[in-house]
Amino acid sequence: LYVDHLLGPGQSVELTREQAHYLFGVMRLAVGGHVALFNGKDGEWLAKVAEAGKKGGKLTCQTQSKPLHMPPDLWFLFAPIKKTRTDFIVEKAAEMGAARIMPVQTQFTNSERIRQDRLQAHAVEAAEQCGGTFVPEVADLQRLDRVLDDWPETRQMMFCDEAEVGSALRLAAQEKGQPWAILIGPEGGFSDRERARLSGLPYAHVVSLGPRILRADTAAVAALTMWQQALGD
């Protein structure tokens, strides 16, 4: 269970109404029962239920069951699409170990707004479900141009474009362990102006995900898998 709380030996953790409902109503835990907690910073801790109520409860941390495991330094940039498909992309990026998830507005992006809090909650759920100890931060929507203006030059970028033929595997020749990013476009793809800008950037490596045009959510999973294969650890 993810808690926004310090974790350590003997630390007591107050539960919110939703957390109490989940642990005592859904999972049927009672006083004396055990639950694994993480907060994205202190690893995973085994905690004992000290108080259980309908509206709240209290847990006491006992021992650390897992140290904090940081994912590789990978940013995942994507243009948000329809709500449920955007949720899917954030969930999969979190499961597959992106360290930071960045929704970007491109020329052909239809969404003007995102619900950052909702997407962050999806990232938390994804981390909970895969037993992770780290939760990627979901950034607010930013314009792609602005993100590129401020880009840290040492961070390499796997720029996924269906108009290209470059294979991700050739990127394996690049030094592993460098900070990387993946960029996936919107339903309408990138504009000519964006392609021209991106292909002129020294850190952007254009990559094909195969001969067919994939849906943006499929492309996200394919790109994360290819990156893992070529450059992940």
Which spans of this chain sit near ligand SAM (rule: CB under 6 A)?
160-162, 184-185, 187, 189-190, 208-210, 212-216, 219
Pair type for strands 12-15 and 57-66: antiparallel
Which candidate, 216, 207, 218, 231, places its Cα nearest to that of 74?
Answer: 231
Nearer to ligand SAM, 45 or 190 (CB): 190
Nearer to ligand SAM, 29 or 219 (CB): 219
Task: Tell me how far apart the terminal alpha carbons of the chain are, to the nearest angstrom.
Answer: 26
* CA dist., res. 120 & res. 73, Å (int): 18
Nearer to ligand SAM, 110 or 178 (CB): 110
Q: Are 120 and 138 in contact (CB under 8 A)?
A: yes
Closest separation between CB of residue 26 and ligand SAM, Å? Answer: 35
Residue 157: Cβ-neighbour burial (10 angstroms; 0-12, 13-18, 19+):
buried
Closest separation between CB of residue 119 and ligand SAM, Å? Answer: 18
CA distance to 3, 29, 213, 218, per residue, from 188 (Å) = 39, 48, 11, 14
Nearer to ligand SAM, 86 or 133 (CB): 86
Q: Nearest to ligand SAM by Cβ — which residue?
A: 185
Closest separation between CB of residue 179 and ligand SAM, Å? Answer: 20
Tell me, what DSSP letter sits at residue 50? E
Closest separation between CB of residue 55 and ligand SAM, Å? Answer: 43
Nearer to ligand SAM, 1 or 93 (CB): 93
Closest separation between CB of residue 88 and ligand SAM, Å? Answer: 12
